[in-house]
């Protein structure tokens, strides 16, 4: 009887442990977008070095979407962005590839425009700023102009 009781207790604790770990990993891990509540827009960049699928998209530092895919189109990088429903993007919105800090993760930062027209779902954002090549700028600064 005692043995069974102990085994049962251990079993329950193991189960609780596994459930807790699953909950923790789900909470902490990158959640896959479930489809509902987001719409897609596209933007073409000349260089997105470092930007990958699931990269974050922010407005004023607040994450409002994620990169759903990156493809090559016409020599440019076509990025598919999933934006949360309810976030409106005016036509003259500018999207830029930025880093967290100087050499951190690459993200997309959105600078909202003021146009009355909005980018529709599936539409293309015309105004883009590509990733800045800091090493090139640094070497220009170090070696200067002749």
Partner 1 sequence: MIQKRLPFMAMLAVCFLVSVAPLAAAEATAITEDLKYVVDQVLLVVADPQFKEDKKARRARIREIIGPKFNYLEMGKRSLARNWKKLSAEEKKEFVALFAKLLENSYASKIESYKDEKIHYVSEVVKGKYAMVKTEVVRKNDSLGVDYKLLRKGDDWRIYDFIIEGVSMVRNYRSQFSKIIRKDSFAKLMEQMSEKVLKLEAQIDQE
Chain positions contacting partner 1, by CB under 8 A = 46-47, 53, 68-69, 71, 73-74, 78, 80, 90, 92, 94, 96, 111-114, 116, 124, 126-127, 129-133, 137, 140, 143, 145-146
> Judged by CB, which is closer to partner 1: 16, or 137?
137
| Strand, coil or helix: 51 | coil
Are the CB atoms for 48 and 130 separated by under 8 Å? Answer: yes
Give the shortest CB-115-to-partner 1 separation in angstroms.
8
Distances (CA, A) of 71 to 21, 45, 87: 35, 11, 24
CA dihedral sign, ordered 82, 88, 92, 97: negative
Counting every residue, how long is the chain?
146
> Judged by CB, which is closer to partner 1: 84, or 91?
91
> Judged by CB, which is closer to partner 1: 56, or 89?
89
CA distance 77 to 16: 46
> Judged by CB, which is closer to partner 1: 64, or 94?
94
């Amino acid at each position: 009887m005692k043995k069974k009781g102990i085994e049962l207790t251990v079993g329950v604790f193991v189960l609780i442990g596994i459930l807790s770990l699953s909950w923790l990993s789900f909470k902490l891990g990158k959640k896959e977008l479930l489809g509902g509540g987001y719409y897609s827009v596209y933007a073409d960049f000349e260089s997105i070095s470092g930007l990958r699928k699931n990269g974050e998209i922010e407005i004023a530092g607040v994450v409002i979407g994620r990169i759903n895919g990156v493809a090559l189109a016409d020599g440019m990088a076509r990025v598919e962005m999933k934006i949360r429903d309810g976030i409106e993007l005016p036509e003259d919105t500018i999207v830029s590839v930025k880093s967290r800090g100087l050499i951190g993760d690459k993200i997309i930062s959105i600078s909202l425009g003021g146009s009355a027209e909005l980018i529709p779902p599936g539409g293309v954002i015309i105004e883009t700023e590509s990733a800045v090549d800091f090493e090139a700028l640094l070497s220009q600064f170090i070696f200067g102009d002749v």
